[in-house]
Amino acid sequence: MVRYLEAGESHGKGLVAIIEGLPAGIPVDIDAINWQLARRQGGHGRGGRMKIEKDQVEIITGVRDGKTIGSPVTLMIHNKDWANWEQIMSSEPGAAIDQKTVTLPRPGHADLTGGIKYNHQDLRNILERASARETAIRVAVGALAQNVLKQFGVELWSHVVSIGSVQAQPDYANLNDALYDTPVYCTDSDAEKAMIAEIDTAKEHGDTLGGVVEVVVHGLPLGIGTYVHYDRKLDGKLAQAVMSIQAFKGVEIGMGFEAARVPGSQAHDEIFYEAGRGFYHKTNRCGGLEGSMTNGEPVIVRGAMKPIPTLYQPLHSADFLTHAEGLASVERSDACAVPAAAIVMQNAVAWTILESFLEKFGGDNLDEVKRNYNSYLDYVKAVMQ
Ligand code: EPS
């Protein structure tokens, strides 16, 4: 129905995406896309690269007079840092490939296995693509997906649940745009202070910190996704989307792993019925997904990000070419990118939700999708009564 491919290296010219299958007639809010990109660059603990970049999306194809026209949409984000890497990263024969070479692989990064697998002498050829810089274009694509979802009253929020050893008590009433003007995108101000302190300590020690982020999706009708086949299950697709983000090592939906520790009587959401309201739940332990389909409650997904593998106090490594003992390469990095990862995950989830949404209601133009959507809502309302 809808698909995209994206490309780009961290210090190349830029990042690009081609999106195919968006209905015609979708208003494209470029400011909203750039707002998401700016939030991705933010958060306490970010490093030097974010001082160089000011990510802005350029729309190259598929949009006219502010609306999609049904043809593939091409997005581009230019890397400002390219100016400093033009010789080294040049596509022309004769590029300065003897400069900024990387031969000491970082534990936890793609460097070592990637170097062997792709048969490179310079591990820069791996890290350039494995870098989390790539998440900028995924955010742009997801932000465009949010443009579409907004037409149907679907809203997504993301926030930081923990950083290092600091755990927040989330306050869902604080999920609003102002949250992203705060240093760590956390709804609990006490936890925020402790998180900032822990990031600063890690930075002083040349160390890095991971954390847990959560995405909440409001406004989805029941029945998005399906139980009938493995590759169309919405919980499975969401897990793939989250786990494909750099440094993410875990994903939970609703109660997640906690559901495995309690008896069934405390793990499920009992069903109630009220005339006029229809079927409803008093709890949302399943995170809005039952049988791999939305059940009408907010969808709640959490992702665990490990600490970034580039440490200014590097870990033990061995030279890729000489095999000599050494310390891992230090590529400029962030002490903590967990707040940024919340924005990345929000947009990765937005894309996956859009895929399943259009699988159900898809059409070639916005009016057609709206007709499909409204007629389904009428049907659900009738069944509920
Ligand atoms: C990032 C850009 C990168 C890193 C970071 C995320 O830029 P540079 O390598 O030029 O500093 O700051 O990526 C990593 C730490 C990593 O290990 O991949 C970005 O745009 O988010």
Query: Tell me, what's the pLDDT at 232?
Result: 97
Q: What backbone phi and psi angles, to 5 degrees, belong to 78?
A: -80, 140
Q: How far is the CA of 296 from the centre of ligand 1 (A)?
A: 37
Q: Is the CB of 14 under 6 A from ligand 1?
A: no
Q: How far is the CA of 294 from the centre of ligand 1 (A)?
A: 35
Q: Kindly state the percentage of the chain with pLDDT values over 70.
A: 100
Q: Is the CB of 117 under 6 A from ligand 1?
A: no
C-alpha to C-alpha distance for 227 and 295, rounded to whole angstroms: 12
Tell me: pLDDT of 331 over 80.
no
H helices present in the chain, as ranges: 30-41, 49-52, 111-117, 124-130, 135-150, 189-204, 234-243, 338-361, 366-384
Give the mean model confidence (pLDDT) for residues 173-184.
96
Q: How many helices (H) and strands (E) does the chain have?
A: 9, 17
The DSSP secondary-structure symbol of 337 reads -
Q: How far is the CA of 39 from the centre of ligand 1 (A)?
A: 15
Average pLDDT over all residues of the chain: 97
Nearest-CA residue for atom 15 of ligand 1: 333
- Give the residue, out of 131, 246, 310, with the most ligand 1 atoms within 8 A of its beta carbon, to mutate for a pocket test: 131
- Among 160, 215, 213, 151, CA closest to 354: 151
pLDDT in tens, 58-94: 999 999 999 999 999 999 999 999 999 999 999 999 9
Q: Is the CB of 54 under 6 A from ligand 1?
A: no
Query: Tell me, what's the pLDDT at 332?
Result: 80
| Residue 139 burial class via C-beta count within 10 angstroms: exposed 0-12, middle 13-18, buried 19 and up | buried
Query: Quick check: helix, strand or coil at residue 69?
Result: coil
- Give the residue, out of 36, 49, 54, 338, with the most ligand 1 atoms within 8 A of its beta carbon, to mutate for a pocket test: 49
Query: Tell me, what's the pLDDT at 370?
Result: 98
Q: Tokens 């443009």 label which residue?
A: 147
Query: Tell me, what's the pLDDT at 179?
Result: 97
Please answer whether residues 212 and 263 qualify as being in contact, where contact means their C-beta atoms are separated by less than 8 angstroms.
no
Q: Is the CB of 128 under 6 A from ligand 1?
A: no
C-alpha to C-alpha distance for 288 and 352, rounded to whole angstroms: 15
pLDDT in tens, 92-138: 999 999 999 999 999 999 999 999 999 999 999 999 999 999 999 99
Q: Is the CB of 310 under 6 A from ligand 1?
A: yes
Query: Tell me, what's the pLDDT at 111?
Result: 97
Residue type at position 169: Q
C-alpha to C-alpha distance for 225 and 234, rounded to whole angstroms: 5
- Give the residue, out of 334, 336, 343, 345, with the most ligand 1 atoms within 8 A of its beta carbon, to mutate for a pocket test: 334
C-alpha to C-alpha distance for 342 and 28, rounded to whole angstroms: 23
Q: Kindly state the percentage of the chain with pLDDT values over 90.
A: 97
pLDDT in tens, 184-223: 999 999 999 999 999 999 999 999 999 999 999 999 999 9
Q: Tokens 């894309």 label which residue?
A: 351
Side by side, which strands form the sheet with 155-163? Answer: 166-167, 155-163, 211-218, 299-305, 248-253
Query: Quick check: helix, strand or coil at residue 214?
Result: strand
pLDDT in tens, 6-38: 999 999 999 999 999 999 999 999 999 999 999
Q: Is the CB of 334 under 6 A from ligand 1?
A: yes
- Among 259, 262, 264, 250, CA closest to 301: 250
Tell me: pLDDT of 330 over 90.
no
Q: How far is the CA of 131 from the centre of ligand 1 (A)?
A: 6
Nearest-CA residue for atom 3 of ligand 1: 133
Cα–Cα distances (Å) from 138 to 42, 70, 124, 351, in that order, read 16, 20, 22, 9
Nearest-CA residue for atom 17 of ligand 1: 131
C-alpha to C-alpha distance for 88 and 123, rounded to whole angstroms: 13
C-alpha to C-alpha distance for 310 and 332, rounded to whole angstroms: 8
C-alpha to C-alpha distance for 138 and 115, rounded to whole angstroms: 25
Q: How confident is the model at residue 1 (pLDDT cuts 50, 70, 90)?
A: confident
Nearest-CA residue for atom 19 of ligand 1: 133
Nearest-CA residue for atom 4 of ligand 1: 333
What does the block give as tokens for 43? 């958060």
pTM over 0.95: yes
Query: Tell me, what's the pLDDT at 150?
Result: 97
What does the block give as tokens for 69? 């026209």
C-alpha to C-alpha distance for 68 and 22, rounded to whole angstroms: 7
C-alpha to C-alpha distance for 102 and 56, rounded to whole angstroms: 29
- Among 375, 357, 364, 372, CA closest to 146: 357
